[in-house]
Structure 1
Amino acid sequence: MLLDCSTFDTALSSICKIFDVTEVKILRVLSKVINDEEKEIKEILDDIYFSVISEIGIPNNTFEVLWFHGTRVKDINSFHEYGILTKKAMYPKLCIMLKSLSGGLVASGSYINNVSVSAKSNINDEGPFAFMIRCLAIAAPDSYHNYTQVPELVEDIAGSLLGENYYQLVSRFQNSTIPCLVSFTAKPIGNEVSRALFFLKLVQDGKNEIEASSIANIFFDSLGDSITVDRIIGVERL
């Protein structure tokens, strides 16, 4: 059983299977819940979840979650050979690639994100990262970083090489790579069902999928463990 938030329809179908209930029933229950925007997100999630289980019952807990990892690579088939590598594994590879692309470019000034780079003190314990709701991984509205445009690690390495001229190297990287979305499975980390229910509720109340996903999404951090090939479901060229 898989919680698949590729779209509203797949999220609805997945939730129905997890709760063993019809779409009509789950939507009827959600329609009764008041989404009080004055409340904290945690309170809203609890309100929705407990309203659902009070009428439908406890969900099946044997499901896995489908996650969406946005990035850019030269060869999208590499994910079927190596999986999704960690920052620790990708850092030296990207350094070599970006140095090879930087010929003729001149360093100047300081990288604008130097402060945030300094805060990332333990690169070995991060990622790979992913979004639970697909459209958010692609659209990246508001304050979300768009990893399909450029991974943060690429910007940081480019900044270390060129300072404030980092964007010139980023542009070369973009011209040399393909934007893609890699989907993979993982065991639940906590409140994915609550977040999926919230996503459904927001769309039901009139939000479009991007607006709803930016509010309801939950992130995945593999904490320095690579995503193995057997967990890869698909690689989508964007």
Structure 2
Amino acid sequence: MKILDCSNYKSALISASNVLSLSQERLIEILKAIQDTQDVSDYHHQCFSELLQYLNYEPTKLTSHWFHGTRIIDINSYFENGLMPKAEGYKILIPFLKGLAKNIEHSKHQSSMFGLSKLGKELLGQDDEGPFATLFKQKAQDKNYHFTQCPEAVEDIAEDLVGANFHVITESFMKVTRPALIEFIGEADDTTLENTLYYLHQVIHGESEHDAARRIDAFFMGNGKTIPSDKIKAVHFLDNNEIVQNMNFAIPSQ
């Protein structure tokens, strides 16, 4: 089984080279020869799909490192129960937020702050269950990545609990939790490989690693299935760069 790792440029280059059975030097040479696609909308998927055909790449079972942005309530929960979809996660989150809501008066809105957002999620159904993650660690580390600030689920539940005073709960939540990334191994496909090549291409052509990662939307959708605890590699805390390894992580064979 081949594994992609887009933690940074070096890991992406090593893993993509391994997947394609090329030396790193040869892959760089090939990507240098492709014109800069930075300003060509949606061109890169066609470009790198054709590159895979040119290289006679045979589709194989791919997995990848993925990065789920969140705020940690209990780190042991991930190592014991895995990374849960929304419905299961709510069973932990709602009681936790109810505890923060004690003695906070319910104040009615004239209209819900998050009404349209909630409706959209209801319409999405199973597609909104997650868990969700991004391919690029640097994208998930961005300070504007809202999942590591105050997740939408927290805002939704807080508003249900105390109405217009929801911000009191969200502010408390931010104080008692820590921003982090959950790194896990999950399924990938040829589009994931194409996005990895696009990222490498942009960096090779002079774009910063951070900007190249930010521009590419490459996401994992869990479709309501829990990521097993032995697939979780580590928790990366963003407030102090601490990395907590999962001692029960099952190292995948390659």
Q: TM-score, normalised by structure 1?
A: 0.89
For residues 143 and 125 of structure 2, the distance between their equivalents in structure 1, rounded to whole angstroms, comes to 23
Shift of 1:111: 3.8
1:138 aligns with 2:137: no
Worse overlay, 32-41 or 179-188: 32-41
Tell me the equivalent position of 1:231: 231
For 2:36, the aligned partner's letter is N
For 1:6, the aligned partner's letter is S
Superposition pairs of residues 212-223 of structure 1, within 5 angstroms:
212-223=212-223
Change (3 A) 1:217 1:10: farther
Tell me the equivalent position of 2:166: 166
For 1:153, the aligned partner's letter is A
The question of whether the paired residues in 2 share the 8 Å contact of 1:111 and 1:160 is answered with no
Shift of 1:85: 1.0
The question of whether the paired residues in 2 share the 8 Å contact of 1:3 and 1:65 is answered with yes
Worse overlay, 15-24 or 57-66: 57-66
For residues 190 and 112 of structure 2, the distance between their equivalents in structure 1, rounded to whole angstroms, comes to 37
The question of whether the paired residues in 2 share the 8 Å contact of 1:135 and 1:213 is answered with yes
For 1:218, the aligned partner's letter is A
Shift of 1:107: 3.2
Tell me the equivalent position of 1:175: 175
Change (3 A) 1:75 1:92: closer
Change (3 A) 1:18 1:59: farther
Tell me the equivalent position of 2:11: 10
For residues 53 and 176 of structure 1, the distance between their equivalents in structure 2, rounded to whole angstroms, comes to 50
Shift of 1:87: 0.4
CA RMSD of aligned residues (A): 2.0
Tell me the equivalent position of 2:245: none
Superposition pairs of residues 65-104 of structure 1, within 5 angstroms:
65-104=64-103
The question of whether the paired residues in 1 share the 8 Å contact of 2:59 and 2:190 is answered with no
Q: Which runs of 5+ in 2 are unaligned?
A: 239-254
CA deviations 1:89-126 (Å, max 9, x no partner) are: 11232111111101232333244221111221155551
For 1:90, the aligned partner's letter is G
- Percent identity between matched residues is 29
For 1:77, the aligned partner's letter is N
1:28 aligns with 2:29: yes
- Paired residue secondary structure (1:187): strand
Superposition pairs of residues 87-126 of structure 1, within 5 angstroms:
87-108=86-107, 109=109, 110-121=111-122, 125=127, 126=129
Q: TM-score, normalised by structure 2?
A: 0.84
- Paired residue secondary structure (1:25): helix
Superposition pairs of residues 186-225 of structure 1, within 5 angstroms:
186-225=186-225
Q: Which runs of 5+ in 1 are unaligned?
A: none
Shift of 1:77: 2.1
For residues 195 and 143 of structure 2, the distance between their equivalents in structure 1, rounded to whole angstroms, comes to 18
For residues 151 and 190 of structure 1, the distance between their equivalents in structure 2, rounded to whole angstroms, comes to 30
For 2:89, the aligned partner's letter is M
Change (3 A) 1:158 1:146: same
Change (3 A) 1:116 1:215: same
- Paired residue secondary structure (1:139): coil
The question of whether the paired residues in 1 share the 8 Å contact of 2:38 and 2:202 is answered with no
CA deviations 1:191-226 (Å, max 9, x no partner) are: 000000001111122222221112223111101001
For residues 53 and 74 of structure 2, the distance between their equivalents in structure 1, rounded to whole angstroms, comes to 45
The question of whether the paired residues in 2 share the 8 Å contact of 1:68 and 1:132 is answered with yes
The question of whether the paired residues in 2 share the 8 Å contact of 1:29 and 1:52 is answered with no
Shift of 1:151: 1.8
The question of whether the paired residues in 2 share the 8 Å contact of 1:70 and 1:137 is answered with yes
For 2:222, the aligned partner's letter is S
- Paired residue secondary structure (2:207): coil
